Amino acid sequence: MRENPLKKNSRFYLGMVLNVVEGMLSGFNFLLLYEAMKMLWNGTINAPSLLRLSLFLGAIFILRIVIYSIGYTQSQIGGAAVSNRTRLFLGDKIKRIPLSRFTQGQTGQYINIVTSDVNNYEKILTHTVGDIVKHITFCSMMVIFVGCIWLPGGIILACIELVLIPFLWLSFRVVRKYGTEKNAVSAETVTSIVEYATGIQTFRAYGIGGTKNKTVTSALKHFSDVSYNYEKHGIPTNAIQCIFLWIGLPVMIWAASIPMLSGELDPISYLLICMLPMLLAKLSDSISRGLMSYKNLKISKDKVVDIIEEPEETGSMEPLQTSTHEITFDNVDFSYVPGEPVLKHATFTVPDQKLTAIVGDSGSGKSTILNLIAKYYEANGGTISIGGKPINHVAAERVLEQISMVDQDVFLFDDTIRDNIRHARPNATEEEIEAACREANCDSFIRKMEKGYDTPTGENGNLLSGGERQRISIARAILKNSPILLLDEATASLDIENELAVKQAIANLLKEKKTVVMIAHTLSIVKNADQILVVGDGKIVEAGTHNELLAKGGKYAAMWNAEQKLSV
């Protein structure tokens, strides 16, 4: 069982203790002021007594500075240590969360939690809690101080503090309703903004940039509305609370005047007692705001806890070792949305070290099959096996060790070309990387660049063309040299020149004996495959070689004939 990353440390608790001490020492200021006022009233004030009070006040002030400095530093270091441990834990945790979570619209939430919410939780530890503790201690000292001078006055101040309870309850309800909603909307807004920034070129190309992007503007408007409702319900509650807190001043003036006029309470005590409700009202308002802020920031903590408690992959981390690498689907069911099946009892076998092509209409489930093989998703039913071993209970990380993938949409890190390729096999030598690039038909264009293999690719490879990115992706697959190769429409959306270069790179990639599953948008590319699977209505409706399927005169034959007419 891993240690709770949110667990506080000794430095944090030391900081809280010193905040309490500093709050208590703040109360001594009133004691010294009270003594000075009494001496002035009684006519006993003189230079030596004033000097003693001043020295005592100075000593208290210096002690407070020392204690505050140490306490603040310890709180900051302790809180930052918890935040640091939390971030490292979440980084490790995200590696263990099922991959399907990252393709279900959760990315924006994860970004928001790991950045904004962790920052908010750090603010709780380093600022909010310490300020609340210090202010509560200071207020308690004032209540005790007044109570020692005149007990009913202490009771009146304590009652003023109790006024906070119903208003805090109301404020917490506002936070629970609108603060939680605001946090959720914030995550949605992050997702929309990330999507907008990623697709900005497309938006501009179609003249829908800026305010015409309805998704982003709608998300921002929603965030604005929630924020407004939050303030609309929170401010009146705080305003009424302040009125009740400040009512304590006239109540104290009137209540304390009775014993003062009867001689039971001296004028100096009366004057000081009547001044303190003003300070208490301000401190109480600060406590209320601090607690409301704490409650609001605690929503962020709860979001962090949600990730901590999120289910992890339960598959075995034992290496997946098989003598062969045929892939078998046995009555596999899958749906992205409950009640809307994409695959229904899909059954087929991809032979070991053979090329199997998957064709079918758009949305028929071709890419879903590759996603299930790679364990990006878990099948809802049935069994998927590699080399005769079911992978249902094998960790995705172990399955992916056996697989190289070349997708239509290539992801590149904001790094050099060399290091982007090296991600496939971190211990690869320079010679092995360059050899893989030659096989992937990209060594020549890399060497023409000013910095060669050390050329930055830009964010997600935006400094390279589509064909260049695709060939670098193939170089990674060649370098990894896995026994299973998945190709998802790797030549789609390329111009003729780049398509020919990528096809040659794929041909080089297929030289080695591998179990290959290929999805292609044109049938001419796959006609020489060892096996062609035709997907339709969530099932394998036809299977065979090119000639066998043409002879059947079924769906594949109709697709082939339609393609031939288009190419004429």
Give the DSSP letter string of 380-426.
SEEEEEETTEE-TTB-HHHHHTTEEEE-SS----SSBHHHHHHTT-T
Predicted confidence at residue 497, as pLDDT, reads: 58
**By mean pLDDT, which of 429-443, 492-506, 545-559 is the weakest?**
492-506
User: Confidence class of residue 296 from pLDDT cuts 50, 70 and 90?
Assistant: confident
- Residue 258's H or E segment, with its range, is helix 248-261
| CA–CA distance, 285 with 283 (Å, rounded to integer) | 5
Neighbours of 8 (CB within 10 A): 16
Q: What is the mean pLDDT of residues 93-112?
A: 71
Q: What is the pLDDT of residues 478-488, one digit of tens each?
A: 888 889 988 88
| CA–CA distance, 513 with 427 (Å, rounded to integer) | 23
Predicted confidence at residue 567, as pLDDT, reads: 59
Predicted confidence at residue 222, as pLDDT, reads: 81
Q: What is the mean pLDDT of residues 185-211?
A: 67
Predicted confidence at residue 127, as pLDDT, reads: 87
Residue 78 in tokens? 């302790």
Q: What is the pLDDT of residues 370-427, one digit of tens each?
A: 989 988 888 999 999 999 999 988 888 889 889 988 887 788 888 899 999 998 898 9
Cα dist from 533 to 182, 351, 366, whole Å = 48, 12, 10
Asked if the model's pLDDT at residue 331 lies above 80, the reply is yes
Predicted confidence at residue 28, as pLDDT, reads: 80
User: Confidence class of residue 207 from pLDDT cuts 50, 70 and 90?
Assistant: low
User: Whose CA is closest to 368, among 399, 394, 329?
Assistant: 329
Class of domain 10-308: mainly alpha
CB 90 within 8 A of CB 287: no
Among residues of the chain, what percentage have pLDDT more than 70? 91
| CA–CA distance, 67 with 25 (Å, rounded to integer) | 10
Average pLDDT, the chain: 85
What order do you get walking across the sheet with 343-350 strand by strand? 343-350, 327-334, 381-386, 389-390
| CA–CA distance, 400 with 111 (Å, rounded to integer) | 24
Domain boundaries, the chain: 10-308, 327-567
Neighbours of 280 (CB within 10 A): 24
Residue 402 in tokens? 């056996």
Torsion on CA atoms 93, 94, 98, 102, rounded to nearest 10: 160
Question: Phi and psi (nearest 5°) for 382?
Answer: 85, -175
**Would residue 375 be called left, alpha or beta, if left means φ above 0 and alpha means ψ between -120 and 50 degrees?**
left
Q: What is the pLDDT of residues 360-369, one digit of tens each?
A: 888 888 889 9
SS (H, E, C) 166-205: HHHHHHHHHHHHHHHHHHHHHHHHHHHHHHHHHCHHHHHH
Predicted confidence at residue 204, as pLDDT, reads: 63
| CA–CA distance, 78 with 83 (Å, rounded to integer) | 9
The upper half-sphere exposure of residue 164, i.e. CA atoms within 13 Å in the direction of its Cβ, equals: 20
| CA–CA distance, 95 with 301 (Å, rounded to integer) | 20
Q: What is the pLDDT of residues 402-415, one digit of tens each?
A: 998 888 778 888 88
1.10.1060.10, 3.40.50.720, 3.40.50.300, 3.30.420.40: which CATH number matches 327-567?
3.40.50.300
User: Confidence class of residue 173 from pLDDT cuts 50, 70 and 90?
Assistant: confident
Helix axes 28-42, 47-96, angle to 10 degrees: 160
The three-point CA angle 381-387-391 to 5° equals: 35
Task: Go through 66-104 and write b for each residue having 16 or more CB atoms within 10 A of its CB, e for each that does not.
Answer: ebbeebbebbbbbbebbbebbbebbeebeeebbbeeeee
Asked if the model's pLDDT at residue 79 lies above 80, the reply is yes
Specify the long-range contacts of residues 521-527, CB closer than 8 Å, at least 24 apart. 521/489, 521/491, 521/492, 522/563, 523/359, 523/556, 523/559, 523/560, 523/563, 524/563, 524/567, 525/357, 525/491, 526/357, 526/359
Neighbours of 294 (CB within 10 A): 18
User: Whose CA is closest to 267, among 35, 38, 28, 31?
Assistant: 38
CB 349 within 8 A of CB 327: yes
Among residues of the chain, what percentage have pLDDT more than 90? 30
| CA–CA distance, 503 with 513 (Å, rounded to integer) | 17
Residue 559 in tokens? 């697709």
Question: Phi and psi (nearest 5°) for 49?
Answer: -65, -40
Task: Go through 385-403 and write b for each residue having 16 or more CB atoms within 10 A of its CB, e for each that does not.
Answer: bbbeeebeebbbebbbebb
User: Confidence class of residue 351 from pLDDT cuts 50, 70 and 90?
Assistant: very high
Question: Phi and psi (nearest 5°) for 478?
Answer: -65, -45
